[in-house]
Structure 1
Amino acid sequence: MEIVVVADTHLPKGNREIPGKLKKEMKKADLVIHAGDWQTIDVYEQFREFGELAGVYGNIDHDEIKEVVPRRELLHIKGFTIGVVHGHGEKKTTEKRVYEEFAEDEPDVIIFGHSHLPLLRFMKKTMLFNPGSATDKRRVPYYSYGKLTIQNQIHAEHVFYSSLR
């Protein structure tokens, strides 16, 4: 199973749109997961055009998005458990907040956003995966999104690119 993971798209903003590279990848994916900060319901609808979609809302999302996606989600896919949350909040690091959010659920992976910074690390036995931002990079030289491949195990990787075209 191939999953595309995005977060912090912050669209529309200026002339930005979903990059062509990301669109091609989403067309091939079995599932797209968005970890919040879509910004408008129109962006949510654009992502739905690519197939099966799961996601959560973030701290800058409009009320219309909060009506169609939850604050957090727990997905069960091919025998694995994946937690999805945006990661905003006060105190502690984003990684500690998202880990504590799902501590009782003990997921295999926690997907989150908020920082716009790509991250792949383990906290105890849980993989923490932030895809970065496909359209609004901050403090890093490249835009990015993530890919999860699920077979007998979960393989996670980042896809980096320098142009939004």
Structure 2
Amino acid sequence: MKKILLLSDTHSYMDDQILKFIKQADEVWHAGDIGHLEVTDAIKKLKPLRAVFGNIDDKDARAEFSLDAKFSIEDVSVWMTHIGGYPHRYNQRIREEITMNPPKIFISGHSHILKVQYDKKLNLLHLNPGAAGNHGFHKIRTMLRFEIDEAAIKNLEIIELAKRG
């Protein structure tokens, strides 16, 4: 079993509140718009990290992280990207591939809107953790955490952090 903390859109922001939840996880996944690499460096000092770059990320982030992260953990296939859309409105770049070979979990960030939605047609769970950083239009900073136990995704929790700003 793995305890996962999923965050996105930190936009160079890291605080003790986020770090507290990182320490409780087995792995941290970052769905892009990292900002300064000090954010991912701080995470990597504490826990294993899987991350993708987002549209605001510079050449250094793009050199360290990829546009898409596709991997399996326990018996669950995962596809994480920053701009991916959501069920019935997937981004054109990924639409054909996700239809032909859907993962069990599809993760995207970008919108700053926390969304957990099951795609019945593709039999996948779509996760967008919202935004953990201070930059953007969101009012509350959010993250998700959950457990993966063999093929099961369990104990999904929404984490509301402090208000933005």
1:87 & 1:60 partners in 2: Cα distance? 11
Instruction: Please say if residues 134 and 141 of structure 2, whose CA atoms lie closer than 8 Å, have aligned partners that are also in contact.
Output: yes
Matched length: 155
Percent identity over the alignment is 24
- Amino acid across the alignment from 1:5: L
Q: CA offsets, 1:88-143, max 9 Å, x none?
A: 6xxxxx21235625333311111110001100001221111000111237554421
Matched, 1:83 2:76: no
Instruction: Please say if residues 52 and 66 of structure 2, whose CA atoms lie closer than 8 Å, have aligned partners that are also in contact.
Output: yes
**Alignment-derived partner of residue 162 in structure 2:** 162
- Amino acid across the alignment from 2:27: L
1:137 & 1:144 partners in 2: Cα distance? 13
2:134 & 2:71 partners in 1: Cα distance? 26
2:135 & 2:161 partners in 1: Cα distance? 10
The structure-2 alpha-carbon separation of the partners of 1:65 and 1:109, relative to structure 1 and needing over 3 Å to count, comes to same
Richer in strand (by share): 2
Instruction: Please say if residues 4 and 26 of structure 1, whose CA atoms lie closer than 8 Å, have aligned partners that are also in contact.
Output: yes
1:143 to 123, 137, 141: 141
1:164 deviation in Å?
6.7
- Amino acid across the alignment from 2:143: Y
The SS at the match of 2:46 is coil
The SS at the match of 2:28 is strand
Matched, 1:3 2:11: no
Greater alpha carbon shift after TM alignment, 148-157 vs 29-38: 148-157
Greater alpha carbon shift after TM alignment, 78-87 vs 17-26: 17-26
**Alignment-derived partner of residue 59 in structure 1:** 55
2:135 & 2:117 partners in 1: Cα distance? 20
2:18 & 2:144 partners in 1: Cα distance? 10
The structure-2 alpha-carbon separation of the partners of 1:160 and 1:63, relative to structure 1 and needing over 3 Å to count, comes to same
1:66 deviation in Å?
0.6
Instruction: Please say if residues 7 and 133 of structure 1, whose CA atoms lie closer than 8 Å, have aligned partners that are also in contact.
Output: yes
The SS at the match of 1:103 is helix
1:18 to 14, 21, 26: 14
- Give unmatched runs, 5+ long, in structure 2: none
Pairwise CA RMSD of aligned residues?
Answer: 2.1
Q: CA offsets, 1:63-84, max 9 Å, x none?
A: 0011111100112001001110
